Structure 1
C-alpha cells in the first residue's frame, strides 16, 4: 500500500510539473504570436474612436498625425518644437523624412456668444524648411469670405523657425525707427525682395469677384483676370506700383 501511494505521489508530482511547464510554454507561444501580430499583422475593426492617431516610420519618426483640437501637436522642425504650441488645430498634419512639418489639412467653424461666426478650411504643402507655398484655403469671417488656390514664394534662408522667432522678437520692440528698420530688413532681406510673396491666386475675393492674380517676385499683381460681382469681365495689366496701364476690353476704343 505504501509503495502504491509513493508511485501515485510521484505521478501526481510529475503531472503537476508537466502541467506547469506546459502552461508556461503555452503562454510564451501566445505572447510570441500576439507580439508578431502587433508588429506585422493587420487589425480590422468596424468603428474606431480616438482623440489622436500617430503614423510613424520604423525608426519612430512621425509621418502623419490625425488629431482633435486638444491633442493636436506643436509645430516640429527636425523633430523639435519651435514655439508654436499644440492644442489649436484639428485635422491632419504631414511630416517629411526629417520629422519636419511639411503641410496639413485643418479646419474649424464656430460661433461666439454674440452669434457671429468664423469658419476656415486649409490644405497646404510647405517649401523645404520654410512655410506653406501651395495651399487651398477658405476663410469666412461672419460672411466676409475669401476662397481660393494660392502659390507662394518663400526665401531659402533663414529656415522658417528662425525667421518666425526673430519676427516675433522684433514685433515686441517699441514702435519707432529701430523696430521699422528691423522689420523691413526681415521682410525684405535681399535687394528689396520680400521674404515671401503671393505669386498666384485663383479664387473668389471678399467683394464676390472671381479672379486670377498673377504677381511678380515681389508679390505685386501684374495681370488680373476678373469677373466682378455684377458679371462684368475684364483683364488688367498693372505696373509695379499697382497702377492699371492697360485693360481689356479697352473702353477708350469704343
Structure 2
C-alpha cells in the first residue's frame, strides 16, 4: 500500500471520528435536557387517565361516562358498577375514594332538560361532608355550598350489609333490619346538613344553620322580591322569632 492511499484512509477515519463525536454530543445534550420518563403533548384525546402511586394505588381517575369507575374502598370495588360517573374521582392514601368532581346535563326528547355539577369531599371511611353543587330540573334550580355531619359508620360495611339484606325475600324482618341500618348511631344521624349557603328553588338567597339532627334553627333569607328577613326556628320547624317582624310567635 502506497503512502497516498494510506493517507487517504487516515483522513476518512478522522472525518468519521469527528462526525461520530458530534452526533454523540448532540444526543447527550438532548438527553440531558429532556427528563427521563417525561413526555410533552400539544393535544391529546383520551377516554380515561389513572393517576397512581408507585405501589399502584389509585390517586385520581379522570374518565368519560362509559369508562368511569364505581365506588372503591381500599382498592376494592363495592356498591354499584362504573359507567355512570363522568368526571374526576379523588382517592386517599389508602386507595379509598374520598371525593370528586362530577357533571352532567342533557335535554330529553320531550324538550325538558336536567343538569347538575358537584365538587365534593368525603369524610374518612364515609361519604361526602363538604360539597359545592348545582342541580337544575328544567329551570327549577338549587345552587350552593353544603357542610354536613356524618355518624361514625364505615361506608363499605354499611353498603355491604345493605346489599346483603336487599337480596333477602321481602319480609317485615328484612324491612326492620334495613331501617335499623340507616338509624342514627348513638343519637347521631347517618347524615345531617349543618350549613347551606346558596340559592334555593324559590329563587331566594339563603343561609341555613341547622342543629346536629339536621333541623334548620336559624335562617337568613333574601327572597325573590328582594325582601330580607332573619328567622329563628324551633325543633318542629316552626318560626319562633323573626326580624324585621320582631313579634314573638
TM-score (norm 2): 0.79
* 2:88–2:100 Cα contact (<8 Å) kept: yes
Q: Are the structure 2 counterparts of residues 141 and 171 from structure 1 closer, same or farther at C-alpha, using a change threshold of 3 Å?
A: farther
What SS does the aligned partner of 1:252 have?
A: coil
The runs of 5 or more residues in structure 1 that have no matched partner are: 1-29
| Cα separation, 2, equivalents of 1:197 and 1:169 | 25
| Cα separation, 1, equivalents of 2:168 and 2:226 | 47
After TM superposition, give the deviation of residue 84 of structure 1 in Å.
1.8
Across the two proteins, how many residue pairs are aligned to each other? 218
1:79 to 70, 75, 82: 75
Match for residue 60 of structure 1? 56
Match for residue 230 of structure 1? 225
The CA deviation string for residues 57-94 of structure 1, in whole angstroms up to 9 with x for no partner, is: 01111101111111001210000001221110111110
Q: What do you get for the CA RMSD once the two structures are aligned?
A: 2.4
Match for residue 6 of structure 1? none
Task: Specify which structure has the higher proportion of helix.
Answer: 1
| Cα separation, 1, equivalents of 2:210 and 2:178 | 22
| Cα separation, 2, equivalents of 1:111 and 1:235 | 38
Q: Are the structure 2 counterparts of residues 61 and 40 from structure 1 closer, same or farther at C-alpha, using a change threshold of 3 Å?
A: farther
Match for residue 21 of structure 1? none
* 1:211–1:226 Cα contact (<8 Å) kept: yes
After TM superposition, give the deviation of residue 179 of structure 1 in Å.
5.8
After TM superposition, give the deviation of residue 214 of structure 1 in Å.
0.5
Q: Are the structure 2 counterparts of residues 173 and 138 from structure 1 closer, same or farther at C-alpha, using a change threshold of 3 Å?
A: farther
After TM superposition, give the deviation of residue 237 of structure 1 in Å.
0.6
| Cα separation, 2, equivalents of 1:133 and 1:85 | 23
What SS does the aligned partner of 2:134 have?
A: strand
Match for residue 13 of structure 1? none
Q: Are the structure 2 counterparts of residues 177 and 230 from structure 1 closer, same or farther at C-alpha, using a change threshold of 3 Å?
A: farther
* 2:101–2:120 Cα contact (<8 Å) kept: yes
Matched, 1:243 2:235: no
Matched, 1:69 2:69: no
The CA deviation string for residues 162-207 of structure 1, in whole angstroms up to 9 with x for no partner, is: 2234345556778886566444433333354311111110001111
Higher mean alpha-carbon deviation, 190-199 vs 69-78, is at: 190-199
